[in-house]
Amino acid sequence: MPTPGVLTVFWNSNVMASKGFFDLADAVRQVRDDGFPVRIVSVGQPRGDSEMNGREVARRFHALLVHEWLDYRGSVDQALAIKMAAEADVICLPSRSEAQGIAIIEGMCAGKALVVSDIPALRATVGDYPAWFVPVRSVEAIAEALRELCRRKQMNPAAFAGSLKEAAAAARERFSAERFDRDMAAILRLELAAE
């Protein structure tokens, strides 16, 4: 999946309008038209939602498959999705319907750049991890984030790849099973003490 000199954006969710997939595709088209090398590697299935019915999603998605910048892999298991996230440069989820995006958590734990919509649920998920927060439905803001990430990767690929190591370590601790167990045990002790 890694392509030297090309910014690889990993889409690790179902292909849905409310998750911002078509906003991302429009942004990538703009960025490529500006001469920046960027591509999407996508997993998941096209699905209808409250914004776009299944037939329209399938039609729009099928029309995108002719572009060489979209590498669609279909449904994959979680282990492969985690491996693919580790090989990407950016995780993008400009969703307006997300509660807590697992794709974002996996991206943070892998030390990847994030481009996410500026909604309370995603801000809470991201926490202190550095990310590009974009307004909901703003193709231009997504495109600008991708342009800047392309510039950074082109300027110094090694520094770009390792720039989020410390943030990734903090994310792995924050989302670890051990921390969850510690926090749950503390909550249960408080509950028992209150009785």
Look at residue 183 in the predicted model and tell me its pLDDT.
62
Q: Which of 17-21, 77-81, 138-142, 183-187 is predicted least confidently?
A: 183-187
Asked if the model's pLDDT at residue 124 lies above 90, the reply is yes
Summarised one tens digit per residue, pLDDT across range 8-67 is: 999 999 999 999 999 999 999 999 999 999 999 999 999 999 999 999 999 999 999 999
**pLDDT bracket for residue 181 (50, 70, 90):** low
Q: What is the mean pLDDT of residues 148-168?
A: 95
The rounded percent of the chain whose pLDDT value lies above 70 is: 93
Give Cβ neighbours of residue 122 (< 8 Å, ≥ 6 apart). Answer: 93, 95, 98, 101, 104, 116, 133
DSSP tag of 129: S
More confident residue, 69 or 101: 69
Task: Give the chain's domains with CATH numbers.
Answer: 7-194 (3.40.50.2000)
Q: What share of the chain is helix, strand, coil (3-state, %, to 5)?
A: 55, 15, 30
Q: Are strands 7-12 and 90-93 parallel, antiparallel or unpaired?
A: parallel
